[in-house]
Structure 1
Amino acid sequence: MKKLIKLSGVFLLMLILVVIVFLYQSLTLYQPPLTQFISMNEKQSFEPFVEIDSKLSCYRPMLDAETISTTQPLKLLVWNVHKGEDQGWQSLLLNYEEKTDFMLLQEATSLQKLPQLLQHMPNQLFASGFAYRDMQSGVATLSPFSPQYYCSAAVDEPWLAIPKTSVSSVYPLDNGKFLLMINVHMVNFEWGTSAYRQQLEQIMQQLQQRVDAVIIAGDFNAWNQDRVAILQQKMAQFGLHEISFSPDNRLRFNGFPLDHIFVKGLKAVSATTKKTKASDHNPMWVELTFD
């Protein structure tokens, strides 16, 4: 009997190893992130350049970008779409499309074909940290506007070695100033906070650019007090404040909301969340005005 149990344990271990090897053979990692600008109605191309340091992959357009009006509200949808695995995500995005200027999505995939789905959001910035069986996954920023330039960065998950990505984009405003928008998906699987802190510092480093309005939003995976403290300290250091929601239906773990929106040089007129079964996260929607 003991011999049978021992053989069963060995077989189970071998089976687990085979599954792990199979999964990693089907996995392609991108470090730095594979970053693409996809446009349905523009013949815009971007060339790489170094903006801050070699840890960021940055690109600037060959043509000038259109300015964003500072006299009109700026409306954002921020949502972890769970790789489109749940029914109804298309309908939810389409319902928000016409009343939204920017969509900042996490766990977006190349198979979702978002620019083709969303006719009012023809421009997509997509920074992918990995592909599984040729399906790229990462963060996507969609908008009718084209950026002045954009950068991407990633930090590897300590346990899984899979890169968690962020993509930042800078847009010219009609008053001669600039808006910096950063779409974030933070490290999750870590007992400590070293990789989490590293990724946050990497993201905040981009605020050294000459910008007047800032939006940092996404899935921060701030699921314990240590992470929350680091996040709040960094945002306060750079003068950003957090948006509050009513109602607040954000996904929580250990009582802490995972998704956040931080802003500087803007204020919220309206900020809501919506309960949905179209993802494991609930979307955040905010209407902002420029200071």
Structure 2
Amino acid sequence: MPFIVPAQDKVLLKIGEVNKDHRPSSEFDIFVWNVYKGQKAHIFEKDFCALGGGKDFILIQEALLDDKMPMIWKNDFAPYEWHVAQSFHYKKNLHSTGVAIGSKIAPEAVDFIRSKTREFFWLTPKLTLFSEYSIGGTKVLFVCTHVLNFVTLNAFTNSLYEIAEKMADFKGPIVLAGDFNTWNFKRYMIMKSIFRDLGLEHLDLENDGRLLKLDHVFVRGFDVLKAQVHHTILSSDHFPLEIRLKCQEKIEPSNS
């Protein structure tokens, strides 16, 4: 196979350093995008900087650690700290791909889970990244995921339960976002049911011109001020999502 799956202790990688003087407010902007490994390089950087620039949190799927994307992070997103969970390396050049979270504040804890099942044919795993932050004295969990695609419905469902189980003990506010590969109605309803049981709200997005809705955002413990799709972007095979949230004064996570 043309891929190398990294050892468990080699999955996480950090790029960049935050400004220690930055203080997050109770309102913040989130940018979510499957960036298609930046393959459309001639227009990708412009779109990524224009839409992602200035956001407080950036959640990426199909990030590519080559000689281009990390340089964009370092140069155009200098105030950010990036944490990456690498799914696999290409043998031909050792570039890796996976999920990433960029933020203007440093996380207090970072962890990941690797799907127990691998994709058919390619035999590559999918990754979910967990970053815990302190915002206004409240612990907030950000989860960036890229869910299995070419697998059975049972394997898809089990992979969502793996993510839910990892989040189950966290009692504070949560943002869960990414590419869930919900390309049929059964997958979509299973996804909503599993995360609803954790008290997570699935966001309906404004200007949602997507025919196939693969990317989603779930939240708990926030007021949603904006949730929209940038449906005119051509630099990826996925449209970016932009969310603005406000921390609620009192968090009441579901016990269901």
With the shorter chain as reference, the TM-score category is 0.7 to 0.9
* Residues 64-79 of structure 1 aligned to structure 2 (within 5 Å): 68-70=24-26, 73-79=27-33
Matched, 1:172 2:172: no
Distance 1:120 1:211, change over 3 A: farther
Please name the residue that 1:265 is paired with.
Answer: 221
Distance 1:270 1:201, change over 3 A: same
Question: 1:158 touches 1:195 (CA, 8 Å); kept in 2?
Answer: no
CA distance in structure 2 between the partners assigned to 1:204 and 1:249 by the alignment = 28
Matched, 1:115 2:73: yes
Question: 1:148 touches 1:169 (CA, 8 Å); kept in 2?
Answer: yes
Give per-residue Cα distances to partners, 1:15-42, cap 9 Å, x unaligned: xxxxxxxxx1x32113537111222457
User: Deviation of residue 267 (structure 1)?
Assistant: 2.2
Please name the residue that 1:82 is paired with.
Answer: 36
CA distance in structure 2 between the partners assigned to 1:206 and 1:68 by the alignment = 26
CA distance in structure 2 between the partners assigned to 1:136 and 1:226 by the alignment = 31
Give per-residue Cα distances to partners, 1:252-290, cap 9 Å, x unaligned: 1xxxx1000000001221112112111011100011111
Alignment RMSD (CA, Å): 2.1
Question: 1:186 touches 1:220 (CA, 8 Å); kept in 2?
Answer: yes
Computing the radius of gyration from Cα coordinates, the structure with the larger value is 1
Give the match's secondary structure for 1:170: strand
Give per-residue Cα distances to partners, 1:189-229, cap 9 Å, x unaligned: 02x22221222111112223334110000000011122112
Matched, 1:280 2:246: no
Structure 1 portions without partners, runs of 5+? 1-23, 44-64
Matched, 1:162 2:124: yes
Question: 1:130 touches 1:138 (CA, 8 Å); kept in 2?
Answer: yes
* Of 24, 30, 39, the match for 2:16: 39
Please name the residue that 2:3 is paired with.
Answer: 27
Q: Percent identity?
A: 26
Question: 2:202 touches 2:218 (CA, 8 Å); kept in 1?
Answer: yes
Return the letter of the residue paired with 2:195.
M
Give the match's secondary structure for 2:6: strand
What count of residue pairs does the alignment treat as equivalent?
A: 238
Return the letter of the residue paired with 1:226.
K
CA distance in structure 2 between the partners assigned to 1:120 and 1:42 by the alignment = 9
Distance 1:287 1:67, change over 3 A: same
Please name the residue that 2:59 is paired with.
Answer: 104
Please name the residue that 2:163 is paired with.
Answer: 203
TM-score (norm 2): 0.86
TM-score (norm 1): 0.76
Return the letter of the residue paired with 1:284.
L
Distance 1:154 1:121, change over 3 A: farther
Question: 2:63 touches 2:97 (CA, 8 Å); kept in 1?
Answer: yes
User: Deviation of residue 251 (structure 1)?
Assistant: 5.9
User: Deviation of residue 67 (structure 1)?
Assistant: 6.3
Question: 1:139 touches 1:167 (CA, 8 Å); kept in 2?
Answer: yes
Question: 1:79 touches 1:282 (CA, 8 Å); kept in 2?
Answer: yes
User: Deviation of residue 160 (structure 1)?
Assistant: 2.6
Return the letter of the residue paired with 1:37.
K
Matched, 1:145 2:105: yes
CA distance in structure 1 between the partners assigned to 2:122 and 2:52 by the alignment = 34
Distance 1:130 1:219, change over 3 A: same
Distance 1:69 1:209, change over 3 A: farther
Return the letter of the residue paired with 2:239.
N
Structure 2 portions without partners, runs of 5+? 249-256
Give the match's secondary structure for 2:11: strand
Please name the residue that 1:129 is paired with.
Answer: 87
Give the match's secondary structure for 1:163: coil
Give per-residue Cα distances to partners, 1:77-110, cap 9 Å, x unaligned: 1000000101311111211344310110100010
CA distance in structure 1 between the partners assigned to 2:22 and 2:19 by the alignment = 12
Question: 1:152 touches 1:165 (CA, 8 Å); kept in 2?
Answer: yes
Please name the residue that 2:252 is paired with.
Answer: none
Return the letter of the residue paired with 2:99.
V
